Homo-oligomer: A and B are copies of this chain.
Amino acid sequence: MNQYTVATLLKETNFKEVHIKGWVRTFRANRFIALNDGSTINNIQCVVDFENTDENILKRITTGAAVAITGDLVESQGKGQSVEIAVTNIEILGDSDAETYPIQPKKHTFEFLRENAHLRTRTNTFSAVMRLRSALSFAIHKYFNDNGFYYMHTPIITGSDAEGAGEMFRVSALDPKNPPLTEDGDVNYKEDFFGKETNLTVSGQLEAETYAMSLGKVYTFGPTFRAENSNTSRHLAEFWMIEPEVAFMDLAGNMDLAEDFMKSVITYVLENCQDDLQFLDDRLFNEEKTKPQAERSEMRLIEKLKFVTENNFKRVSYTEAIDILRNSKPNKKKKFKYIIEEWGADLQSEHERFLVEKHFKSPVILFDYPANIKAFYMRLNEDGKTVRAMDILFPGIGEIVGGSQREERLDVLKEKMAALDIPEEELWWYLDLRKYGTAVHSGFGLGFERLVMFASGMTNIRDVIPYPRTPQNAEF
């Protein structure tokens, strides 16, 4: 007698005695158990012979209860499934009090489920999202491994605060109430665990560059942090980032890599997560029906994923994009919240979505941005005012990838750091890369949760990570 998962059983065509464990999703007519074990979004129907089953057992078959079932796999009489189990024995492994169990067999609000995040993967929506998240992770590792990249774990605790990507969390083992002080009355971090002030990293890019300049092609996939008090549906204090970095690759190569990578991981989930994606596609469609027509998205979820895999990403310079936007209807009719007036403007999500969804009707890669709205490490173009940066824009979500060719010239990099008051002593090792065997190199960053939102159709970033960290919230 073998033990199966629901996923394997639903594919069985060989009828026989089976044994399976899982949780009761519903129990109706004192007869039909919908059993789920997390291996798939689908339940297997288990038909209880209630006339020959102890009434005390029947009472304990409640939503959320863990059960062990033995029975015969038979062709299903009902609709929607090909097989079911005619139960010959059922054992209650763990009860679930129907009165108090938070996950009732009805629709719960996402807010309620966030408060019960330890149980929310017992619902169809969240189990689908988290299986999809796992599949996307694997697709990412597989893509890079198949393409000769090495995975690198960049440090989480960093002694450098020169990255400049945002507010940082302090990491300390000092007495929080009475920290040791220097003669000048400042906190004396020399006495802290690491002998210096340390923070949680905002990016692994600079360290990834050190490995690209020796191993050639590397990528990071790890947690990053922002201590910004942004209480929105798009921000987390703790989120996961993917950052590939490649030696001898210029901005054009970077665009090729990013396009191929994004298409590859999305193709992977289209091929490997059909049931979960179909469920999420239907879920989003039904949710959108409740919205006014104008706010609904024009594409269903799976359509949007195919829009990415089936279109060439249109490559457009920032300068060209500004021209298009300045002359666009919503800009002239002042329908944009932020009107584009001149070159140098930072683009907002509304502009990015206009370019993708209305103008080009394809994913877009913008490149050659004004230097002063981008980071210090980006390669300055010969025009002296733009840098070799690129952003990839997707439908519904706007910017999903940001990358650049890195400034490989020591003198230019030093000038840019000086202009921004970034001390050379802080980044001596980063400068060394330009002193010894420097070369053109490039990379990009992808916020993993933005990708999961895009692929799942979930609209709040708190619903695509197991235990979200946001202002005032570090529960579980």
The yes or no answer to A270 lying at the interface (CB within 8 A) is no
Does A110 sit at the interface, judged by CB under 8 A?
Answer: no
Could you say how many copies of this chain the assembly holds? Answer: 2
| Bound-state Cα–Cα, A137 to B149, Å | 12
Stretch at the interface among A78-86, A119-127, A255-263, A396-404: A119-127
In the complex, which range does the number of interface residues on chain A fall in? 35 or more
A271 on interface, CB distance cutoff 8 Å: no
B residues in contact with A227, CB < 8 Å: 173, 193
A38 in contact (CB, < 8 A): yes
Binding-face segment, A214-222, A333-341, A412-420: A214-222
The answer, yes or no, to whether A292 is at the interface (CB within 8 Å) is: no
In the bound complex, do residue A158 and residue B474 qualify as a contact, i.e. CB atoms below 8 Å apart? yes
Please give, as numbers and ranges, the residues of chain B lying within 8 Å of A196 by CB-CB distance.
474
Chain B residues near A439: list those with CB within 8 A: 21, 66, 93-94
B-facing residues in A145-173 (Cβ within 8 Å): 145, 148, 150-160, 167, 169-173
- Within 8 Å by CB of A471, from B157, B194, B436, lies B194
Across the interface, which residues of B come within 8 angstroms of A305, CB to CB? none
The answer to whether A456 has its CB under 8 Å from any CB of chain B is no
Q: Cβ of B153 and Cβ of A38 under 8 Å apart?
A: no
A458 at the interface (CB under 8 A from B): no
B39 A148 Cβ-Cβ under 8 A: yes
Q: Are B474 and A198 in contact (CB under 8 A)?
A: yes
Stretch among A279-287, A342-350, A367-375, A461-469 lining the B interface: A461-469
A interface residues (Cβ-Cβ under 8 A, vs B): 3, 5, 7, 21-24, 37-39, 64-66, 68, 93-97, 100-103, 118-119, 121-122, 127, 130-131, 133-134, 137-138, 141, 145, 148, 150-160, 167, 169-174, 176-177, 179, 181, 185-187, 193-196, 198, 200, 207, 210-211, 214-217, 222-223, 225, 227, 229, 237-238, 240, 247-248, 408, 429-430, 432-440, 465-467, 469, 471-476
